[in-house]
Amino acid sequence: MNGFEVMRVDNGEVSVLRIKGFLDAHTASDLEREIQRLLDQKRFKIVVNFRELNYISSAGLGVFMGFIEEVRGNKGDIKLTNMTPKIFRVFDLLGFPTLYEIRDDEQQALQSFNNQK
Amino acid sequence: MKLAVKNQRTKKKFHLRIPSQTEYLEIIREFVSRVARKVGFKEDDASKIELAVDEACTNVIEHAYGGDGKKMIDIAIQVDYPGQKMSIIITDQGRGFDPSKLRAPDMKKYLQEMRVGGLGVYLMQSLMDEINFEVKPGPKNQVKLVKYLMNNQRQK
């Protein structure tokens, strides 16, 4: 049974990861692997689209914490988009909105990367 | 997986005994949120309870049992009427920890240091009305999480 999926779409220098299903202590490693693959390919501009994610626990949030330093150290960023109110609440409770750029949609996040050039 | 339901006039009890493996977290979440909704919690609070229990069980799987998937976790739910509260007691026989060392972490510092551990406990405290740890490493460690249904209704 597969409760979590990641779909990657590259858009110029930016890679978009569309995540789907539930992100918990069991599936966090799938996302970790996908982000690690991006870093191995020297792709540090990352957008994660949460539109089809219906659940996240702290193990899922931990994935973003684990990579953000390396990503920003390489002039990149991880921008988060399309969170449902339920998902946003978890990020908000842990104070993430002050440390991560959270946008309404992919377009805004791509724009924001372009403006940084 | 053993699922038992006992009906009483003032109390309802539900029990799930399940292997200590992350792949079963989704079954635990389903069990807990189904019961919460069934006894009258709104979607929003049912999802808070679901997340708090996930965090507690993840701690058991990864820390108390250190990834030993042959061990078992017991999740007992008690719904009290007319007190209208749901208590979830999660029991393991693994390595305990010192609850006196357990404090709400300074989240700002945590995030700046990009520390991952400890987030779960902070979430449990934020999401539930009461949280209580009882630690006797080996024989029995328990965490009790409580949510009041009345609060739930007042907020609406």
Q: Percent of chain B scored above 70 by pLDDT?
A: 76
User: What is the three-class DSSP state of B83?
Assistant: coil
Confidence band for B68, pLDDT divided at 50, 70 and 90: very high
Question: CA A106, A31, A61, A28 torsion: positive or negative?
Answer: positive
Return mean pLDDT, chain B. 84
Answer for the pair B137, B75: CB distance below 8 angstroms, yes or no. Answer: no
Return mean pLDDT, chain A. 95
Q: Which residues of A touch B111 (CB under 8 A)?
A: 65, 94-96, 98-99
| ipTM here | 0.93
For residue B57, pLDDT beyond 60: yes
The per-type count for chain B, helices as H runs and strands as E runs, is 5, 6
Query: Of B106 and A110, which is predicted with more confidence?
Result: A110
Q: Which residues of B touch A66 (CB under 8 A)?
A: 114, 116
Confidence band for B136, pLDDT divided at 50, 70 and 90: confident
Answer for the pair A79, A14: CB distance below 8 angstroms, yes or no. Answer: no
Among the partner residues A22, A59, A93, nearest to B126 by beta-carbon distance: A93
